[in-house]
Amino acid sequence: MAQTGGFGRRYIKAFVSGFLVAVPVTVTVLDRLAYVARVEGASMQPSLNPEGAAASDIVLLNRWSVRNYQVQRGDIVSLVSPKNPEQKIIKRVIALEGDIIKTMGYKNRYVKVPDGHFWVEGDHHGCSFDSNNFGPVSLGLVHARASHIIWPLNRWQKIEPALPKDRRPLSDWSDGSTADKDD
């Protein structure tokens, strides 16, 4: 009987010590490296949720890749909504600081994105609440970059940065170039 009690105590002690190690490691991974999230809504169709409400994509959000606010045009990012800080939204980066962008319904037809900001839009323009509604977004609101679609399994893939051809900035003042209207 004494051996059984010792085995039980050792089992509980091992479980508790494993738990005490696993919880901080898990919290650190989720806080600093990456986590998964379900994408809701139609604003990023057809890139995300191509089947609409029938099936929501689940994406891997890479926090490490945006730790220094290094985003590029075409990235799909998760950010805190500028209009509702309790909500996270997922959008595509269209323009970076210094770029001039032709807007789609914003109060100004053309906007030069200010320093420390970027321009985001949903891929499904008719169903997206994005920079065309609230303007340039502060880089400080970036939460993570979507790196992979992990569910449903038939859509498992790496998400590559891609800028819609018709939504390129008119100019990039950081390197002095201008975009051709024909390309």
Q: What is the pLDDT of residues 132-164, one digit of tens each?
A: 999 999 999 998 999 989 988 888 999 999 888
Residue 182 has pLDDT above 80, yes or no: no
Residue 1 has pLDDT above 50, yes or no: no
Cβ proximity of 81 and 92 under 8 Å: no
Residue 180 has what pLDDT? 42
Active site residue 91: yes
Catalytic residue among 78, 91, 131, 147: 91
**Tokens 């901080």 sit on residue:** 24
pTM: 0.76
Active site residue 181: no
Tokens of residue 23, six digits: 């919880």
Highest mean pLDDT among 9-13, 44-48, 146-150, 179-183 belongs to 146-150
- Comparing 25 with 150, the larger pLDDT belongs to 150
User: What does the longest C-alpha to C-alpha distance in the chain come to?
Assistant: 84
Catalytic residue among 43, 47, 131, 147: 43
For the chain, what is the mean pLDDT? 82
In angstroms, rounded to a whole number, what is the distance separating the alpha carbons of residues 45 and 111?
Answer: 25
